[in-house]
Amino acid sequence: MALSLQKANFWKRISAWLLDFILLAVLSVGGMALTGVILNYDAHAAELTAYQAEYEDAYGVDFEITQEDFEKLTQEQKDKYNDVFDEFSKDERVVKTHSTLFYMTIAMMSVGLFIGVLVVEFIVPLFLHNGQTVGKKVFGLAVMRTTCVRLTDSVLFIRALFGKYIIETMFPAVLMLMIYYGAIDIVGTITIILLLILQIGVLIATQTNSAIHDLLTDTVVVDMASQQIFDTEEELIAYKQEQHAQEVARKEY
């Protein structure tokens, strides 16, 4: 029997991804919340809120005013608001607390996403085998090397940590956070868009419809029921030798 690649059905892959994404989101949010408690994030956030209230009470302004209400102010009121907000933004206490919250948020996000990816994309597949996450198990999919050899634990770890966590998850997440905090603007947005285009392009252009993490580890998502997967390279070589011997025998006959 000729060895062939049984690529996974597109809609099954999407469905499996959605299920895994939900699990990852739940675990990540839990990890972020736990990290926030450990870092005492709420206390620092309350401190920044107190500084804001201090300026609002002292100068009679409202930093939470909507853009619509701001436009209704007189020019004098707008100038006062801008002056007060500028002074507030330069206050050393505010700058320090704002910076602390920024780095805390990165830490919370990093730990939360790491926990989510580690569990969903590495620990669970270690128990289910064949690179199967919960989503892939439910929809009958598996992950193997493009040579039809089963994943080793090290390849699975690299696929999860470097491919899915660092490149596809953490990198764009940090960029979005920096955009939100005003650390970067158009450059970050363009980078995220380019990364998304690259991911889509790779999925479309590759014969195996592989994502970036699959290209990194030379892996492919396949249909579990119909795909022949070998435990080792030696087993694959033995199979090919046997097939070749049978083919030669048929020709001689």
Can you read off the two tokens belonging to residue 124? 């669970």
Residue 32 lies in a domain: yes
pLDDT value of residue 245: 78
Q: Which domain covers residue 15, as residue numbers?
A: 10-248
pLDDT value of residue 252: 65
List the chain pLDDT tens, one digit each, 253 residues: 457 788 888 899 999 999 999 999 999 999 999 999 999 999 999 999 999 999 999 999 899 888 898 888 899 999 999 999 999 999 999 999 999 999 999 999 999 999 999 999 999 999 999 999 999 999 999 999 999 999 999 999 999 999 999 999 999 998 888 888 777 778 888 988 999 999 999 888 888 888 999 999 999 999 998 999 999 989 988 888 887 777 777 776 5
What residues contact residue 148 under an 8 Å CB cut-off, 6+ apart? 3, 5, 227, 228, 229, 230, 236
Rounded Cα distance between 42 and 105, Å, is: 11
pLDDT value of residue 253: 58
Residue 1 lies in a domain: no
Residue 110 lies in a domain: yes
Q: Find the farthest-apart pair of alpha carbons in the chain and give their distance in angstroms, rounded.
A: 100
Distances (CA, A) of 100 to 23, 103, 111: 29, 5, 16
Between vectors from CA 7 to CA 4 and to CA 11, what angle results, nearest 5°?
A: 160
Rounded Cα distance between 89 and 83, Å, is: 10
* Number of separate domains in the chain: 1
Residue 119 lies in a domain: yes
DSSP class per residue in 211-230: -HHHHHHTEEEEETTT---B
Can you read off the two tokens belonging to residue 238? 């033995």
pLDDT value of residue 221: 94
> Tokens 């580690």 label which residue?
118
